[in-house]
């Protein structure tokens, strides 16, 4: 029995791919076939797979039905968290989604799921991604301060959701945590952030995130051991569609 994660499947069985340029490279060609094959090889019915957002390009639930069916058809228990492109998932209607898809999928939001002695907590997260203003040599000289102000509000809201999830798990007696985000925990300007602080406050052993696509973005945030925790980027194109093992 093992715990795996991946993010950014960006499925589009029913919807038009309107993806930015970096989602059109070779790695994206028939990516859903590659991923299904890798899952069939790696995962068993006893395993758990956490999918950390950007599941589908569909604009609403009816445009996502085949994408979600594909996820249902993957082996093992499937837990989904929200990404910035998941228009089908209104955060206020998470319980309706869970009702619709139980027991096949779990949509995780403002809550936690257990895995052995661990509580799995997850939310979309947020990080300021610019626009940054560069000089002729590509050095950052400034950024859009209005956008940065707005980003702070989104960060605060996501932090509240994350805190609630950790506290629920703690109240139920959990002392070991794995934290899942869609956005990276830090942006290119930061060494730490309110998300790395929260991971440290609650003692999360690992912080799993996605959202960074294309080679130029893979190293925007933290990889590996950092301040006592393990950080892992699990975007599908970074992993070449092989689910990442998180725990045995
Ligand atoms: Fe994405
Ligand atoms: Fe994303």
Of the ligands numbered here, which is closest to the C-alpha atom of 183? 2
pLDDT of residue 18: 63
Expressed in angstroms and rounded, the spacing between residue 30 Cα and the centre of ligand 2 is 19
pLDDT at 20 over 60: no
Expressed in angstroms and rounded, the spacing between residue 53 Cα and the centre of ligand 2 is 7
Instruction: At 216, give phi and psi (nearest 5°).
Output: -70, -15
Token pair listed for 128? 């300021």
pLDDT of residue 229: 98
Q: Helix-strand-coil percent breakdown of the chain, rounded to 5?
A: 30, 25, 45
Expressed in angstroms and rounded, the spacing between residue 135 Cα and the centre of ligand 2 is 27
Res. 19 pLDDT band, cuts 50 70 90: low
Q: 120 and 112 in contact (C-beta within 8 Å)? A: yes
Q: 5 and 208 in contact (C-beta within 8 Å)? A: yes
pLDDT of residue 16: 73
Expressed in angstroms and rounded, the spacing between residue 173 Cα and the centre of ligand 1 is 34
Q: CA–CA separation, 216 vs 180, rounded Å? A: 22
pLDDT of residue 22: 63
Mean predicted confidence (pLDDT) in 200-224: 95
Of the ligands numbered here, which is closest to the C-alpha atom of 9? 1
Expressed in angstroms and rounded, the spacing between residue 208 Cα and the centre of ligand 1 is 14
Cα-trace Rg, the chain: 17
Q: CA–CA separation, 240 vs 34, rounded Å? A: 9
Of the ligands numbered here, which is closest to the C-alpha atom of 126? 2
pLDDT tens per residue, range 75-133? 999 999 999 999 999 989 999 999 999 999 999 999 999 999 999 999 999 998 888 88
Token pair listed for 144? 């859009």
pLDDT of residue 118: 98
Expressed in angstroms and rounded, the spacing between residue 7 Cα and the centre of ligand 2 is 9
Expressed in angstroms and rounded, the spacing between residue 82 Cα and the centre of ligand 2 is 9
pLDDT tens per residue, range 220-233? 999 999 999 999 99
pLDDT of residue 189: 85
Expressed in angstroms and rounded, the spacing between residue 205 Cα and the centre of ligand 2 is 23
Q: 121 and 90 in contact (C-beta within 8 Å)? A: no
pLDDT of residue 139: 87
Q: CA–CA separation, 221 vs 3, rounded Å? A: 23
Q: CA–CA separation, 80 vs 70, rounded Å? A: 13
Res. 174 pLDDT band, cuts 50 70 90: very high
Expressed in angstroms and rounded, the spacing between residue 164 Cα and the centre of ligand 2 is 23
Expressed in angstroms and rounded, the spacing between residue 55 Cα and the centre of ligand 2 is 9
């Amino acid at each position: 029995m093992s715990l795996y994660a991946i993010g950014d499947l960006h499925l589009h069985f029913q919807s038009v791919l309107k993806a930015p340029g970096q989602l059109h490279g070779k790695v994206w060609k028939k990516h859903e076939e590659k991923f299904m094959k890798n899952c069939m090889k790696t995962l068993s019915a006893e395993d758990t797979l956490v999918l950390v957002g950007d599941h589908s390009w569909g604009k609403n639930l009816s445009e996502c039905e085949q994408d979600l069916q594909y996820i249902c058809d993957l082996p093992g228990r499937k837990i989904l968290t929200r990404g910035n492109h998941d228009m089908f998932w209104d955060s206020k209607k998470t319980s309706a989604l869970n009702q619709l898809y139980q027991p096949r999928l779990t949509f995780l939001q403002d809550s936690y799921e257990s895995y052995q002695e661990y509580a799995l907590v997850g939310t979309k997260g947020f990080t300021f991604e610019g626009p940054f203003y560069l000089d002729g040599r590509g050095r950052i000289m400034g950024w859009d301060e209005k956008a940065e102000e707005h980003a702070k509000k989104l960060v605060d809201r996501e932090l509240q959701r994350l805190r609630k999830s950790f506290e629920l798990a703690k109240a139920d007696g959990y002392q070991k945590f794995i934290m899942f985000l869609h956005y990276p925990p830090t942006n290119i300007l930061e060494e730490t952030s309110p998300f790395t602080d929260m991971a440290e406050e609650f003692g999360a052993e690992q912080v799993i995130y996605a959202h960074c696509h294309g080679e130029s973005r893979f190293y925007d945030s933290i990889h590996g051991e950092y301040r006592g925790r393990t950080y892992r980027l699990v975007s599908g194109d970074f992993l070449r569609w092989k689910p990442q093992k998180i725990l045995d």
